[in-house]
Amino acid sequence: MILVTGGAGFIGANFVLDWLKQYDEPVINYDKLTYAGNLNNLKDLQQDARHVFVQGDINDGATLSALLDKYQPRAILHFAAESHVDRSILGPAAFVTTNINGTFSLLEATRAYWQNLAEPEKAAFRFLHVSTDEVYGTLSAEDPPFSETTAYAPNSPYSASKAASDHLVRAYHHTYGLPTLTTNCSNNYGAYHFPEKLIPLIITNARAGKDLPVYGDGQQVRDWLYVTDHCAAIRRVLADGRLGETYNVGGWNEQSNLSVVHTLCDLLDQLQPKATGSYRDQIKHVKDRPGHDRRYAIDARKIEKELGWKPAETFETGLRKTVEWYLANDEWVNQVQSGEYLKWVDLQYKNGAEVVA
């Protein structure tokens, strides 16, 4: 079996669901269930004996060690992280606690477990760390995309904490021989995405008749990766990735934030039109956030060349599937848009950001 940390969050839950569609191999799902961890993401697995959920914190080394000893997983996939830049600006301590200290605690528990495995289990074991392209910093319009050899230059508390976790994973491979793999992905989107992030925020706000906030001029560029494509990439890296290596995972879909918002509005105009006008009428440009990186782009040629992975979805097909999912899942949307989320939106987009256009 495999152990997944953060498997009730957006990417982690999609990975667990997708894994159990592909394989019968059981999953131990270890998640703290913070605001972004949601067991409703895993509702389809409630009666599935292959899915064992354990609520816990990756900083709890004793519980991690007990889990590893009990279940003897052949691999650990580490998704658990605080992941929202805006939240890291307002409250960086949680990002240090989870992303740095938590990864350290997990690595220590894993090292002790792995060192006591018998051969060939020790040789077959893998620790796969899921990270972000934001560790590389920002690009100008003329710069080539991030490659696996791009120097780290994180610009937010979030990206700095993820960079630190990447370095810890690398160090545990080179110092202790722990069989690690790291993936650095671009912006994910798809089903079960908590609506603090751009795409689900725009969809849910548009349908509620609220403003659609766009930071600054909206020309910040991101590479967009459909979440099930990301899950497929992780499976390939887990199966055949070279130990100690990093693989960049991207969608080959660079889009400005404003272009993404316009495309979402146009899709909603088609799929759930307003009585009058367009959803574009709700767009409001707000004051840009501090230190906002201008462009991210991923060079994903290494994973394609070595492991044969490339994204199956275009931005157009993936975004349409995403909008259709949100339109069909009002119960999930209503459940996650509760007190904690509403307080956050009020702080970030009403009190914390002034309208500039």
Q: How far is CA 98 from the centre of its chain?
A: 14
Concerning whether 133 is annotated as a catalytic residue, the answer is yes
C-alpha–C-alpha distance, residues 198 and 207, integer Å: 14
- Take residue 155 and report the two structure tokens written for it: 């610009």
- Select from 182, 33, 35, 2 the least CA-distant residue to 103: 182
Number of Cβ within 10 Å of residue 114's Cβ equals 20
Cβ contact 197:291 at 8 Å = no
Question: Is the backbone peptide bond immediately before 73 cis, with ω within 30 degrees of 0?
Answer: no
18 among known catalytic residues: no
Considering 136, 158, 247, 296, which one is annotated as catalytic? 158
Residue type, 301: R
The CA–CA distances, whole Å, from 168 to 95, 174, 357 equal 15, 10, 43
Q: Phi first, then psi: what are they for 28, rounded to 5°? A: -95, 120
Let me know if 82 is a catalytic residue: no
From CA 132, how far away is CA 198, in angstroms rounded?
Answer: 16
Helical packing angle, 10-22 and 227-240, nearest 10°: 60
Active-site residue, selected from the candidate residues 31, 86, 134, 293: 134
- According to DSSP, the residues that pair with 298 across neighbouring strands are 146
Tokens encoding 116? 């006591």
Active site residues: 133-134, 158
